[in-house]
Structure 1
Amino acid sequence: MPVRRSFAFKCTVLLMLWVLVAIACAQIPAYTFWPAIFGALTLPVALALNLLAGLYWLVRRWPVAALPLGLAVLTWPHFQRGLAVHPFRVAPAAAAQTGQVVKVLSANVRIFNVYPQLRDAGLHSSREMVRWVAENPADILCLQEFYNEPVGTRSQDGNVFHTVDKIGRQAGRQAFLSKTVTNSAGAEFGMAIFSRYPIVNKGTISFGKLTQNHAMWADIRLPSHDTIRVYSFHLQSMSMEEKDIVDSYSSKAGLKQKGVGLLRRFKRGAIARHWQVDTLVRRFERCRYPMLLCADLNDVPYSYSYDQLADHFQNAWASVGNGVGSTYNGRLPFVRIDNQFASPQWTVDDYWVHYEIPYSDHFPSTATYRLAKRQSAQ
């Protein structure tokens, strides 16, 4: 039987078409055609099966392998989004580095576990999280879901949550707190950027009403006299409880009971996130400074949100990491929803996820960037 009429060849062609369609789906915002989000989510499966098809044809009839393997090469950046592969990469030695080096920590600190249902004995996790962040050697800290009790606030917890003072002034950093809520006791909720270098300008980007889902930015003057812009943002939550997700795929009864509600919430969240990321990308396009982005995307690497950022920026994990790089600290495995991105002026030297810091439902991440060429302020 001719190869082109064989069942294996037809399956290979269909797999290749699946890859292309899934990639196309990742470029369609949910507010335009929401079912595309599910097509994009199938991309890692399609990429893996296409690679297996290439290996199959290498053994069976190697000239045919050029089709799936050629597609695998062309779509390798998409493969790297979900499973980074750099087995022989070695971080550059300090002596070999040229240009200004900047180390950045990004973390969703889950309001330092201040709520009663998050607290543990003696506020151990809260104290340890604040201490670890304050003592972290990073030059710039981007903290989402931030909580602060200003010095002088009367609190039964003492000074545990004087976080701006502990992470900022006491650690030799400037602080920019983007407040979304101040409660009756004077405690502040929002996001924060801390910097060992001068913050020369700053601002907040709301997505309509200012909520925890917003963005903030700071222009920072480096010792090299370059000015860079750092963005930190928190996109719309998936609005789904982890238990409901686990229940939905654990049994048919769970799927029937939870499935429709989860689908509805997932759709609403995706529409909001895709509109929010489009709003941010338009802002990024107007910025002339080298940029660093720290984000709780609340979305996976195979999504429109991630795709739009990856079109303009380097993802730190995909550039230098190995493996999945999951950042969600929960029962859902292999989920990377927290990311750092860098504009083309930067080289990513290193990136790692701090799995040893389990105090939030997100693991913190640290990256080291190098700005090789001096940029003039504009």
Structure 2
Amino acid sequence: MKKLSWFNKVMFFFNIVLTILTFLAYFLPFLAPKLFPFLSVFTLILPLMLVLNFLFFLYWLFQVKRQMLLSGIVLLLGVTFISKFYKFSGRETEKDNADFTLMSYNVRLFNLYDWMPRQDVPDSIAAFVKKHRPDILCFQEYTPRKDVDFGQYRYKYIYVNEHNNAKLGQAIYSKFRIINSGSIPFPKSDNNVIFADIKKGNDTLRVYSMHLQSIKISPDIHEKIDEQKSKVIFNRLSAAFKEQQHQAELIQQHKRECQYPMIICGDLNNSAFSYVYRSVKGSMKDAFEESGKGFGKSYNYKYYPARIDYVFTDRDIVVKEYITFQDFIFSDHFPVMTRLAYEKEK
């Protein structure tokens, strides 16, 4: 420290503070939101802290200062968090006849309330599905519409409930036979999870489509956020994360009773650095981490590459490809699709 200039001493002080905060954020996925709701909100800025640590590392590296070791160690210990935030290269393997594709998409009620100033949203989504032809299709924030045709799917399970005079729910469409289906209701919430047991050849797979408690931050908000609005958003996030914890526990319980290989997809409404993500994912694989590329942004928020839509698979399901369609803007979410193969343990 004695050999550092006064400016570098100040920079190193901030570097130390950032290090402490980053290590705290590393432990947050293990802390229940019900116990520490204010800390849970902190998980949302972990990517920013990783970026700042990288900038500090470069700052000291260019000066050939040993202080670079501080941020270097932080980044090394957080390498698993980095892969959840950004993937430098996606893995794509050759297609096989046994492969199948799954698409998950929060369709925002097919623009029922005209959030977007266009009338072609339902037709565009239907055309998009026909173009990419996923074998299994999962919709969140789904509402039945006579003018939207998914007749190419022989099998389906649709769950809806009445909400503000509109039918709000989820749907699973499949080219393979559905032999069982059901839902996991969430207490005092319009959100829920649905599932379908799908017969593919001689195998049966269970597919869950989830829509956890919304944090109710619209991507359409562009006004200045003052101190009062910040408090409202903070309290809203804290309350939502506590609700999500209980919902994640219900999913965990339901998973334990399932004897089939599982796929969980849908809108988690939380980051990959959260307690809720860790709870729902468990020992399963994150398809984006397996074969994704870039930020994997799935929510159309202007100021942050938010990935809140996921596909989790059992360990013996191979993830061969993962795509986020960020140029298809017909909802506040982007569709995600993955190509999978089920390989039984030998």
TM-score range, shorter chain: 0.7 to 0.9
Aligned residue number for residue 110 of structure 2: 112
One-letter amino acid matched to 1:49: L
- Give the Cα separation in 1 of the matches to 2:334 and 2:12: 43
- Give the Cα separation in 2 of the matches to 1:15 and 1:22: 10
- Give the Cα separation in 2 of the matches to 1:348 and 1:93: 12
CA deviation after TM superposition for structure 1 residue 9, in Å: 6.3
Aligned residue number for residue 204 of structure 1: 183
The 1:335/1:210 distance shift into structure 2, 3 A limit, reads: closer
- Give the Cα separation in 2 of the matches to 1:66 and 1:330: 34
Q: Which has the higher helix share?
A: 1
The 1:209/1:73 distance shift into structure 2, 3 A limit, reads: same
- 1:368 equivalent in alignment to 2:346: no
Aligned partner (choices 18, 21, 28) of residue 18 of structure 1: 21
State whether residues 102 and 337 of structure 2, in contact with CA within 8 Å, keep that contact through their aligned partners in structure 1: yes
Aligned residue number for residue 253 of structure 2: 282
One-letter amino acid matched to 2:31: I
Aligned residue number for residue 232 of structure 1: 209
**Which is further off, 350-359 or 137-146?**
350-359
- Give the Cα separation in 2 of the matches to 1:330 and 1:69: 30
- 1:189 equivalent in alignment to 2:168: yes
The 1:329/1:241 distance shift into structure 2, 3 A limit, reads: closer
State whether residues 320 and 350 of structure 1, in contact with CA within 8 Å, keep that contact through their aligned partners in structure 2: yes
Aligned residue number for residue 179 of structure 1: 160
- Provide the secondary structure at the position in 1 that maps to 2:226: helix
Q: What root-mean-square deviation, in Å, do the aligned CA atoms of Structure 1 and Structure 2 show? A: 3.0
The 1:230/1:120 distance shift into structure 2, 3 A limit, reads: same
Alignment of 1:97-136 (within 5 A): 97=96, 100-115=98-113, 117-118=114-115, 123-136=119-132
The 1:263/1:49 distance shift into structure 2, 3 A limit, reads: closer
Runs of 5+ in structure 2 lacking a partner? none
Aligned residue number for residue 194 of structure 2: 216
CA deviation after TM superposition for structure 1 residue 205, in Å: 0.1
- Give the Cα separation in 2 of the matches to 1:60 and 1:256: 38
The structure with the larger Rg is: 1
* Residues 237-265 of structure 1, C-alpha deviations (whole Å, 9 max, x = no match): 11234455x32xx3xxx414523322222
One-letter amino acid matched to 2:46: L
- Provide the secondary structure at the position in 2 that maps to 1:80: helix
CA deviation after TM superposition for structure 1 residue 58, in Å: 4.6
Aligned residue number for residue 296 of structure 1: 267
- 1:81 equivalent in alignment to 2:84: yes
The 1:18/1:329 distance shift into structure 2, 3 A limit, reads: closer
The 1:311/1:189 distance shift into structure 2, 3 A limit, reads: closer
State whether residues 23 and 74 of structure 2, in contact with CA within 8 Å, keep that contact through their aligned partners in structure 1: no
One-letter amino acid matched to 2:209: S
- 1:51 equivalent in alignment to 2:29: no
One-letter amino acid matched to 1:175: K
CA deviation after TM superposition for structure 1 residue 316, in Å: 1.6
State whether residues 28 and 39 of structure 2, in contact with CA within 8 Å, keep that contact through their aligned partners in structure 1: yes
Runs of 5+ in structure 1 lacking a partner? 150-158
- 1:315 equivalent in alignment to 2:286: yes
The 1:36/1:136 distance shift into structure 2, 3 A limit, reads: same
The 1:370/1:65 distance shift into structure 2, 3 A limit, reads: farther
CA deviation after TM superposition for structure 1 residue 49, in Å: 3.0
Paired residues, number: 342
- Give the Cα separation in 2 of the matches to 1:24 and 1:172: 44
TM-score normalised to the size of structure 1?
0.79
CA deviation after TM superposition for structure 1 residue 291, in Å: 1.4
CA deviation after TM superposition for structure 1 residue 132, in Å: 2.4
The 1:276/1:183 distance shift into structure 2, 3 A limit, reads: closer
The 1:256/1:63 distance shift into structure 2, 3 A limit, reads: closer
Aligned partner (choices 13, 29, 42) of residue 39 of structure 1: 42
* Residues 84-130 of structure 1, C-alpha deviations (whole Å, 9 max, x = no match): 222xx551122xx5x94221000011121233x34766x42222222
Aligned partner (choices 125, 139, 143) of residue 147 of structure 1: 143
